[in-house]
Amino acid sequence: MPDTVLPVQRDLLDPDVVALGALAARTGLVPADPLRQPLAEARDAAERYHAFLNGPALPADIREVAADGPAGPLRLRLIQPPGMLEEGRPLPVLIYFHGGGFAVNSIDTHDRLLRLLARHSGAAVCAVAYSLAPERRFPHQRGEALAALRWVVRHGADHGLDPERIAVGGDSAGANLALGLALDAREEPGPPLSFGLLLYGMFAHDFDGESHRLFGDGRFGLTTERMRWYWRQYLGHGGVTRDPAAAPLQADLRGLPPLHVAAAGLDCLRDDSLRLAQRLEQARIPHRLVLHDALPHSFASMTRHVRKAEEAVLLAADAVRRHLRH
């Protein structure tokens, strides 16, 4: 959604997204802007705005648990398709990391998306309430991601989860963590990960590509300026890195599970996903790249209002279902 005074190019943007922006404006809601608000206010604004996007909660079975994180308990939320608990069969599980530039948002802001993924994939979703930056910075979140995986492997069966059918997923900054966890999981004992779901990921510390030039000015929501700010919060020290653990596009990608990579066509991060697909091709990793050409960053949070966004999420959920079926 636009966060500047620059005009929206309505001929490029899906009409449902334009209508959603107008509806939000009429209700007095605007997306959070941590560059122009104190961070605490931006976080509160993000919760309010996403509550409007989410609307009434979709039916699901919810359970709150805690894992042993690198600095104390790590909150996990298990979201399971309605009625599946009574069937007695262990469910495959998608460990999911929400987006928000590592600095805003929560598992609550992503509630509708998480429930949709559970309902349409047939898997339990394990949503990870990882620490936000700058209070906690890289590599702390990578440690929390690994802690979540280890909890599912060691304790998931006690909660009706199948530790041999695990996928990882995330959007934006959460896709960074999901890809990082898939890389770390190669060294973990036990069955390999089955699948990865990466939605408009934040994979590289690079602002010079075509998508930043075309879309980084704010007409379609996310700006290059804000991306620089997010990286500074996450990394500190000026927010510059070539460490592949922080910017996994630079990592050795061999040995990853099959991946579904979804890019938003009107997103300054579009090229992160396109470049990742090229690297996956070079590493001979099975993957599917889907470019949703009329949608902006964060479209997966717009499913109640934007038909093409819902279709994109259902396509992703179907990919999870197919890869975790056996």
Helices vs strands, H then E, count in the chain:
10, 8
Given the residues 106, 121, 172, 194, the one annotated as active site: 172
Neighbours of 258 (CB within 10 A): 17
Identify whether 172 is a catalytic site residue.
yes
Identify whether 297 is a catalytic site residue.
yes
Contacts of 132 (CB under 8 A, 6+ apart): 43, 100, 102, 103, 104
> What dihedral angle (degrees, nearest 10) is formed by the CA atoms of 188, 182, 144, 122?
-100
User: Locate tokens 């910075």: which residue?
Assistant: 137
CA-closest candidate to residue 207, choices 224, 229, 223? 224
Given the residues 111, 267, 271, 272, the one annotated as active site: 267
Given the residues 205, 297, 305, 323, the one annotated as active site: 297
Euclidean distance between CA atoms 279 and 273, whole angstroms: 10
Distances (CA, A) of 40 to 43, 48, 229, 306: 5, 13, 15, 29
CA-based radius of gyration for the chain: 18
Catalytic positions, written as ranges: 172, 267, 297
